[in-house]
Copies of this chain bind each other. A is one copy, B any other.
Amino acid sequence: MTINLRPPHFRDPMALDPSAELPLPIDSELLDTPSILVDLDQVERNIASMASLAKRRGMTLRPHAKSHKSTFIADLQLDAGATGLCLATAGEAEVMWRHGVADLLLAYPVLGRAKLDRLAPIVEAGSLTMVADSVEVASGYSDLACRTGREIAVLIEIDSGMRRAGVPPEQAGAVAVEVDRLPGLRVRGILTHAGHSHAALDQRGIEEVARDEVRAMQQARETVERAGVTVEVVSAGSTITTPYLSSDDGITEVRPGTYVYNDLRTLSRYACTPDQLAVTMLATVVSRGPARATLNAGSKSITTASTVQHGHGHLVNRPRSGFALLSEEHGVLELATEDDDLRVGDRVQILPIHVCVWMDLQPEVYGTRGGQVVQRIRVDAMRRSL
């Protein structure tokens, strides 16, 4: 027998006390754990650095917002010269459009009325470019274009070797022509994601992936143009492969996401240096045992993402202690002798294996400068996989 006592305005707790005045030292009890800290000075440097790289190479920069899911961070990127945003879901696109971002690329094959109807206002505003690798997907876009009375620009997704989505370069022309003929659609170019850079053996292997990416896009462009469709946009480049790309290769736009924060996954892919890691999770030691410290951050907060060299994560300034075990709300550290000083109640900072999944799990993260929390950062598109 239960009685419903839930008051109408019961709200989820936030890690930072709503009454806390900023700036606030990060070791304040008003900041609960687990919580995510974002080094804003470093974020600004990361944003400036990628903006400069893209500019030097003659490519426009369209950051992928799936990595931060935050209008606050998006604004920093746009203010630094980004041409618009790339999104992975209709829900992310809605959030950024309602925030006022006027140039959105939804780099995902969107299927079904439920999602397409939600995109209608963005199409009506002329703010959305869509992506397709099949006529089935493009047909839905065509229906949407007809319903809204607005032409929709489409990029054809090319498989440059990842085998996740996209058409092989040699088939791009045929698909582009078919899509371009659908009522209300105009093919404006091609797009790829060379995510198989994560599977490359070493730095040379990553560079080979990037060259394959370039070659695939050059071949796709040729087949599309030979089929009579003009290619204005050649969109490629992740955080990992962008350093190897240039407009000299015909790439017009890059879409890195993780670079804004970086993580141990992209570090292990040589895409950032340790000083460029801008995000940590603050966690508290809740239990101690012999050579063991247990943190209140488990798989529901840091996820089960892992790399061979870093396991499920890595502590700031404690490189010899690693995660022996993750439960949902427990992260069990196997402690090196030098870290035996950790006591119940102490706080540590965990570096992310995959920061993009971290950002999908927190309604709010905390911007810091010089060890002080200075900014609440709303993660507006948290859990918007629809």
Q: What is the interface of chain A, defined by CB distance below 8 A to chain B?
A: 1-7, 10, 12-15, 17, 29-30, 32-34, 66, 71, 74-75, 78, 88-91, 94, 97-102, 108-115, 118, 133-134, 136-137, 157, 159, 162-166, 195, 284, 286-289, 292, 294, 296-297, 299-301, 303-306, 324-325, 327-330, 332, 343-345, 354, 356-357, 360-363, 383-386
Given A6-B99, A356-B328, A13 and B284 contact (CB-CB distance below 8 Å): no
Known: A98-B10, A164-B325. A30 touches B114 (CB 8 A): yes
Question: Given the known A-B contacts A134-B344, A287-B133, A385-B300, are A332 and B163 also in contact in the complex, defined by CB atoms under 8 Å?
Answer: yes
Contact indicator A32/B328 (Cβ below 8 Å) = no
Check B286 against A108 for contact (C-beta < 8 Å): yes
- Min CB–CB distance A307 → chain B (angstroms): 12
Task: Let me know if B163 and A292 touch, CB within 8 A.
Answer: yes
Contact (Cβ within 8 A) A91 B163: no
Shortest C-beta distance, A78 to chain B (Å), equals 6
Task: Specify which chain B residues have a CB less than 8 angstroms from the CB of A305 in the assembled complex.
Answer: 299, 304
Kindly list chain B residues whose C-beta atoms are within 8 Å of the C-beta of A3.
100
**Residues of B contacting A29 in the complex (Cβ-Cβ under 8 angstroms):** 112-114
Chain B residues lying within 8 Å of A112, measured Cβ to Cβ, are: 29, 32-33, 284, 345
Contact B296 A111 (CB under 8 A): yes
Complexed CA–CA distance, A384 and B296 (Å): 12
With A29-B112, A32-B114 known as contacts, the answer to whether A163 contacts B13 (CB < 8 A) is no
Q: Which chain B residues lie closer than 8 Å to A294 at the CB level? A: 164-165
Closest Cβ of chain B to A294, distance in Å, is 5
Q: How far is the CA of A224 from the CA of B386 in the complex (A)?
A: 52
A343 touches B286 (CB 8 A): no
Q: Which of B78, B89, B90, B109 interacts with A2 by CB under 8 Å? A: B78
* Bound CA span A330–B111, Å: 13
B292 & A98 in contact (Cβ 8 Å cutoff): no
Inter-chain contacts of A385 with B (CB < 8 A): 34, 296-297, 300-301, 329
CB neighbours of A164 from chain B (8 A): 287, 294, 325, 327, 330, 332
**Interfacial chain B residues near A17, Cβ < 8 Å:** 114
Is A109's CB under 8 angstroms from B195's CB? no
**Chain B residues, CB < 8 A from A89:** 329
With A78-B2, A111-B344, A299-B357 as given contacts, are A328 and B165 in contact (CB-CB < 8 Å)?
A: no
**In the complex, what residues of B have CB within 8 A of residue A345's CB?**
111-112, 136
User: What CA separation (Å) do A332 and B71 show in the bound complex?
Assistant: 29
Question: Do B165 and A330 touch (CB < 8 A)?
Answer: yes
CB distance from A31 to the nearest CB of B (A): 8
Structural contact, A5 and B383, CB atoms closer than 8 A: no
- Is B386's CB under 8 angstroms from A13's CB? yes
Residues on B with beta carbons closer than 8 Å to the beta carbon of A362: 383
6 extra A-B contacts, CB within 8 A, seeds A137-B286, A304-B306: A2-B71, A2-B78, A32-B386, A89-B329, A111-B284, A165-B294
CB distance from A378 to the nearest CB of B (A): 10
Cross-chain contact A287 with B166 (CB below 8 angstroms): yes
**CB-based contact B301/A2 at 8 Å:** no
Which residue, A100, A112, A157, A301, has most C-beta atoms of chain B within 10 A?
A112
Residue ID in chain B nearest A108 by CB atoms? B329
B286 lies within 8 A of A111 (CB): yes
Instruction: Offer 15 A-B interface pairs, CB within 8 angstroms, sorted by A.
Output: A2-B78, A5-B98, A5-B99, A29-B113, A110-B286, A133-B287, A163-B325, A163-B332, A165-B286, A165-B330, A297-B385, A299-B305, A303-B303, A304-B305, A328-B356
Are A91 and B383 within 8 A (Cβ)? Answer: no
**Minimal beta-carbon separation of A250 from chain B (angstroms):** 24
